C-alpha cells in the first residue's frame, strides 16, 4: 500500500462553510494509506470576481500557491497539488496552463513572483482528489476498504460546472463518471440523470441565495437540481464543491416555500459517503456539520449499520 | 480583504456585502448564519496568511 503524501490546497471555502469536505478527505485518504499535507501559508486562489477586475493579479495569487508547493519539494520531479474546491481547482489549473506557455502573462507573473523571492518552474501539477482516488489509488482499493457497503442507497452524483470545464483533464466534459464509479465501488447505486454538470447557481454568487447578487436565479437553478434528483429517486446528492454543497443543502425550506413543492434531500460530499462506507467515525467526516443526513433503513444499508440508524433530517 | 490578509473569511465577506447592498437581508439570513456558526462552518475569526507584506508586493508587481 502506498504511503504517498500529497500537497493539499484547501482554499477558503473548504476550510469554512465546506470544512466537512477537508475533514472527510483527510480521513478517507489516511484510511486508504495516503496522506494530505496542507500547503503552508497558502493564499486565496484568486477565483471569485478577481479575474474580471485584474487577471494578471488573479494569476499571481494562484501562482504563489504553485510556487510554494514546488518549494516544499525541492527536487526536480513533478509536484501534485490537490485542490478540493472546484473553483480553486479551476483557478489553479488555469494558472498552470497560462504560465506553461511563454508569453506576456508568464513573463509578468514570473516577474511578480521573483519580486518576492519565489519562482514557478512548472513542476506543480494541479489535480483534483477525485482524480487521485479513481486513477491513482484506484477503485479496487476503494472497494477493498469498504466495511459497510451502502447497498440500496441511490445517489445523484453532482459534478457542478468547474470540475470538467473548461479543462477536462481526467473525465468526460459532457458526461463525467468518476464519482458514479466511486459510488458503485462502495456498493451504492448512482442514478442516471442529465443535470450532473448543470450550474447550481453558485456562480450568481456568493454563497447562494443568502448573499447572492441574483437570489431568484440561484434558487431556480438549485431547485431544478434538487427536484430532478428527488424525482429520479435519489436518496441523496453527492458533490465535490463547497459552494454547490452549501447551495444545495442550505435553502431547501426556502425553495419549498417559493416553488410550492417540498424538498428534503441530503447534499453531502462524496468523501463523506466514502468515509461512512469505510466505517470511519462520523465526527471525523464532518457529518455533524451537515444540515440533513440520513441513510436508508439499516437493513438495506450495510450489515454493520447501527440499530435505529435511519438518520435524521436536521432542518 | 484578500489584499490585506491573503484569505477570505466567508462571514466577513457576507456581512460587508450585505451592509453595502441590502442591510435588510443581513437580518433575513441571520438564522442560517447562526446555524452555520453552531455547526462550526462559519466563524468571526478573520483568516490570514503569514507573509502578508510579500503578498501585497506580489499583487503590486502583477497589477495591470
B49 to chain A: which residues are within 8 Å by CB? 41-43
Q: Mind listing the pLDDT tens digit of every residue in chain A (315 residues)?
A: 457 899 999 999 998 999 999 999 999 999 999 999 999 999 999 887 788 789 999 999 999 999 999 999 888 799 999 999 999 999 999 999 999 999 999 999 999 999 999 999 999 999 999 999 999 999 999 999 999 999 999 999 999 999 999 999 999 999 999 999 999 999 999 999 999 999 998 766 554 445 556 778 888 999 999 999 999 999 999 999 999 999 999 999 999 999 999 999 999 999 999 999 999 999 999 999 999 999 887 545 665 443 333 344 454
3-state secondary structure A109-176: HHHHHHHCCCCCCCCEEEECHHHHHHHHHHHHHHHHCCCCCCCCCEEEEECCCCCCCCCCCCCCCCCC
Beta carbons of A30 and A24 less than 8 angstroms apart? no
> A161 is in which domain, residue-wise?
148-313
Smallest Cβ distance to A289: which of B7, B40, B51? B40
* Count of the separate structural domains present in chain A: 2
What is the bridge-based pairing of β-strands A79-83 and A124-127? parallel
Q: Which of A303, A251, A250, A295 is nearest to A272 (CA)?
A: A295
Grid coordinates representing A277? 462506507
Q: Give the minimum alpha-carbon distance from A59 to chain B in angstroms, rounded to a whole number.
A: 9
Judge: B17–A211 Cβ closer than 8 Å, yes or no: yes
Please report whether residue A10 resides in a domain. Answer: no
Q: Which residue has the cell 464532518?
A: A286
Which ranges of chain B would DSSP assign to H, the alpha helix?
2-5, 10-21, 23-28, 30-38, 52-62
Do A68 and A157 lie in a common domain? no
Best residue in B6, B9, B24, B41 for a mutation probing chain A (most A CBs within 10 Å):
B41
Judge: A17–B42 Cβ closer than 8 Å, yes or no: yes
Do A186 and A219 lie in a common domain? yes
Grid coordinates representing B22? 441590502
Do A209 and A243 lie in a common domain? yes
pTM for the model stands at 0.92
Do A116 and A165 lie in a common domain? no
Please report whether residue A195 resides in a domain. Answer: yes
The CATH number of the domain where A198 resides is what?
Answer: 3.40.50.11810
Q: To 5 degrees, how large is the angle CA A298–CA A299–CA A303?
A: 80
Counting every residue, how long is chain B? 64
Q: Which residue of B has its CA nearest to A106?
A: B62
Judge: A115–B57 Cβ closer than 8 Å, yes or no: yes
Q: Which of A76, A98, A127 is the last residue of a domain?
A: A127
Q: To 5 degrees, how large is the angle CA B51–CA B54–CA B58?
A: 135
Q: Which residue has the cell 431556480?
A: A220
Q: Which residue has the cell 493539499?
A: A8
C-alpha of A312 from chain center: 24
Chains A and B form CB pairs within 8 A to the count of 101
Do A194 and A72 lie in a common domain? no
Do A98 and A220 lie in a common domain? no
Please report whether residue A179 resides in a domain. Answer: yes
Do A201 and A308 lie in a common domain? yes
A207-245: pLDDT as tens digits: 444 555 677 888 899 999 999 999 999 999 999 999 999
Do A207 and A275 lie in a common domain? yes
What CA–CA distance (Å, rounded) separates A61 from A92? 9
Judge: B59–A57 Cβ closer than 8 Å, yes or no: yes
Do A183 and A308 lie in a common domain? yes
Q: Which of A69, A94, A127 is the last residue of a domain?
A: A127
For residue A133, cis peptide bond before it (omega within 30 degrees of 0): no
Q: Give the minimum alpha-carbon distance from B17 to chain A in angstroms, rounded to a whole number.
A: 7
Q: Which of A127, A159, A193 is the last residue of a domain?
A: A127
Q: Which residue has the cell 504511503?
A: A3
Do A206 and A259 lie in a common domain? yes
A101-140: pLDDT as tens digits: 999 999 999 999 999 999 999 999 999 999 999 999 999 9
B64 to chain A: which residues are within 8 Å by CB? 54-57
For residue A206, cis peptide bond before it (omega within 30 degrees of 0): yes
Do A119 and A185 lie in a common domain? no
Q: To 5 degrees, how large is the angle CA A9–CA A269–CA A261?
A: 135
Amino acid at each position: 500500500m502506498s504511503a504517498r503524501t500529497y500537497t493539499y490546497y484547501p482554499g477558503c471555502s473548504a476550510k469554512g462553510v465546506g470544512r466537512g469536505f477537508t475533514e472527510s478527505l483527510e480521513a478517507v485518504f489516511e484510511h486508504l494509506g495516503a496522506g494530505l499535507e496542507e500547503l503552508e501559508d497558502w493564499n486565496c486562489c484568486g477565483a471569485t470576481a478577481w479575474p474580471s477586475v485584474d487577471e494578471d493579479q488573479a494569476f499571481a495569487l494562484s501562482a504563489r500557491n504553485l510556487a510554494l508547493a514546488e518549494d516544499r519539494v525541492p527536487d526536480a520531479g513533478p509536484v501534485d497539488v490537490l485542490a478540493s474546491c472546484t473553483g480553486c481547482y479551476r483557478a489553479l489549473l488555469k494558472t498552470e496552463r497560462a504560465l506553461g506557455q511563454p508569453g506576456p502573462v508568464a513573463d509578468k507573473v514570473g516577474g511578480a513572483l521573483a519580486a518576492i523571492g519565489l519562482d514557478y518552474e512548472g513542476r506543480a501539477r494541479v489535480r483534483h482528489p477525485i482524480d487521485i482516488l479513481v486513477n491513482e489509488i484506484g477503485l479496487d482499493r476503494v472497494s477493498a476498504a469498504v466495511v459497510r457497503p451502502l447497498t440500496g442507497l441511490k445517489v445523484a452524483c453532482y459534478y457542478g460546472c468547474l470540475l470538467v470545464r473548461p479543462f477536462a483533464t481526467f473525465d468526460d466534459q459532457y458526461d463525467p463518471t468518476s464519482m458514479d464509479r466511486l459510488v458503485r465501488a462502495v456498493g451504492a447505486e448512482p442514478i442516471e440523470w442529465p443535470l450532473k454538470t448543470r450550474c447550481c447557481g453558485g456562480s450568481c454568487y456568493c454563497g447562494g441565495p443568502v448573499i447572492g447578487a441574483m437570489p431568484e436565479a440561484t434558487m431556480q437553478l438549485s431547485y431544478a437540481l434538487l427536484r430532478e434528483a428527488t424525482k429520479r429517486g435519489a436518496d441523496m446528492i453527492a458533490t465535490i464543491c463547497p459552494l454547490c454543497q452549501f447551495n444545495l443543502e442550505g435553502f431547501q425550506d426556502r425553495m419549498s416555500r417559493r416553488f410550492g413543492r417540498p424538498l428534503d434531500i441530503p447534499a453531502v460530499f462524496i468523501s463523506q459517503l466514502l468515509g461512512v462506507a469505510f466505517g470511519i467515525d462520523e465526527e471525523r467526516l464532518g457529518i455533524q456539520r451537515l444540515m440533513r443526513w440520513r441513510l436508508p433503513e439499516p437493513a438495506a444499508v450495510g450489515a454493520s449499520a447501527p440499530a435505529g440508524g435511519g438518520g435524521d433530517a436536521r432542518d | 480583504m484578500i489584499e490585506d490578509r491573503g484569505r477570505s473569511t466567508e462571514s466577513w465577506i457576507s456581512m460587508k456585502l450585505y451592509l453595502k447592498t441590502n442591510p435588510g437581508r443581513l437580518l433575513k439570513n441571520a438564522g442560517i448564519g447562526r446555524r452555520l456558526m453552531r455547526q462550526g462552518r462559519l466563524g468571526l475569526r478573520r483568516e490570514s496568511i503569514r507573509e502578508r507584506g510579500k503578498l501585497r508586493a506580489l499583487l503590486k508587481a502583477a497589477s495591470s
